[in-house]
């Protein structure tokens, strides 16, 4: 649909949706939203990834191709896992264009892409999403083994969270490798064990992986074995992280706290902030003196300043002296549009705890 000024002057084109965001704008030029439009937009995103080094990269064959507003296509996520593209549409209009999007991917990648999987039912508005079935727009296959730096990971886009893997933590996983040699590490909310694999490979003395999902723990164990890492230095536990932190007598030297988004709307922001505070206060209470805490929030409605202030409150509650070593965010394949700062959703801190 077109958005016009009060005087009838064209302003933009976009997808209408009956939600707090009435129209997601996809073009500020008066043009047809047709097959050529989709090809040009996705080609531009592909060229950006090529220019910043993600294509034909010997260190990784998985990356984000379309990052919604960051690539001028709000409501659309496309992740590449080796030869499979996984699409997630967050708006009805974007979902209705999925076939044109898939055709653009075919033209751009050619025989480098063997499958295109649509995983939109969970991310579309609830009433509409209930009538949508996930499935292949081309090809088949429910998983693949991908490479990230020198590590391998099994990615299951059919049963996994999001599109199957948390590509946005790539650089932060590599950063963790600098601090774990000879140390005990807790990876809380481990999902498929990304941080655990990096820690073990970097020489951690012991890594404990905790996640409430038994399926996630099975994937973690699979990824540890896949990388031929010493299983006697790794223990995985399917437990609620909050309960585990409350009950454990372990005092870890390095901790990773990477919870799912506690708030997906402004109405839930206050409760989310309280949850982040409780979680981090518990982590700070358990970490050994001289320990290093990697803590994250992926809640878009909790901005960087609010997250920082929440960690300050957690440190006060835990009674620990804390130094900020570094601030963390998402990698370059998750670009932030200069005029849409909200797309910088991933926030992290590396903390030295005395």
The answer to whether residues 204 and 180 touch, using CB atoms and an 8 Å cutoff, is yes
Q: Give the separation between CA 199 and CA 224, rounded to whole angstroms.
A: 10
Q: How far is CA 147 from CA 40, 75, 165, 227, in A?
A: 28, 27, 12, 10
Q: How many CB atoms lie within 10 A of CB 137?
A: 17
Q: Give the separation between CA 123 and CA 219, rounded to whole angstroms.
A: 23
21 contacts: CB under 8 Å, gap ≥ 6: none
Q: Give the separation between CA 284 and CA 79, rounded to whole angstroms.
A: 34
Opening angle at CA 268, ends 295 and 93, nearest 5: 100
* Residue 190 among the catalytic residues: no
162 contacts: CB under 8 Å, gap ≥ 6: 88
Q: How far is CA 279 from CA 242, 256, 260, 315, in A?
A: 7, 12, 12, 11
Place of tokens 């002296």: 321
Q: Which residues are catalytic?
A: 298
């Amino acid at each position: 649909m077109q958005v016009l000024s009060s005087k009838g002057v064209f302003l933009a084109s976009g997808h209408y949706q009956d939600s707090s965001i009435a129209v997601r704008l996809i073009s500020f030029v008066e043009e047809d939203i047709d097959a050529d439009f989709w090809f040009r937009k996705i080609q531009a995103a592909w060229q950006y990834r090529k220019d910043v080094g993600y294509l034909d990269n010997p260190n990784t064959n998985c990356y984000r191709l379309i990052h919604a507003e960051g690539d001028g296509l709000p409501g659309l996520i496309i992740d590449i896992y080796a030869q499979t593209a996984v699409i997630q549409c967050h708006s009805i209009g974007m979902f209705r264009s999925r076939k044109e999007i898939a055709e653009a991917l075919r033209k751009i990648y050619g025989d480098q892409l063997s499958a295109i999987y649509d995983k939109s039912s969970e991310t579309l508005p609830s009433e509409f999403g209930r009538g949508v079935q996930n499935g292949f727009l081309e090809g088949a296959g429910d998983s693949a083994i991908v490479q990230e730096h020198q590590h391998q990971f099994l990615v299951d886009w059919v049963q996994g969270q999001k599109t199957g893997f948390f590509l946005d933590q790539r650089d932060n996983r590599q950063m963790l490798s600098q601090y774990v040699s000879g140390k005990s590490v807790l990876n809380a909310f481990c999902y498929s064990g990304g941080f655990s694999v990096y820690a073990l490979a970097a020489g951690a003395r012991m890594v404990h992986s905790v996640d409430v999902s038994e399926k996630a723990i099975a994937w973690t164990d699979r990824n540890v074995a896949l990388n031929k890492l010493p299983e006697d230095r790794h223990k995985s536990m399917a437990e609620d992280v909050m309960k585990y932190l409350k009950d454990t007598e372990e005092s870890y030297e390095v901790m990773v706290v990477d919870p799912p988004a506690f708030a997906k709307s402004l109405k839930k922001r206050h409760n989310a902030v309280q949850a982040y505070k409780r979680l981090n206060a518990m982590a700070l209470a358990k970490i050994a003196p001289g320990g290093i805490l990697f803590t994250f929030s992926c809640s878009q409605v909790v901005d960087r300043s609010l997250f920082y202030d929440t960690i300050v409150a957690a440190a006060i509650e835990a009674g620990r002296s804390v130094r900020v070593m570094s601030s963390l965010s998402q990698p370059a394949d998750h670009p932030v549009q200069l005029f849409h700062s909200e797309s910088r959703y991933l926030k992290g801190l590396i903390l030295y705890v005395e």
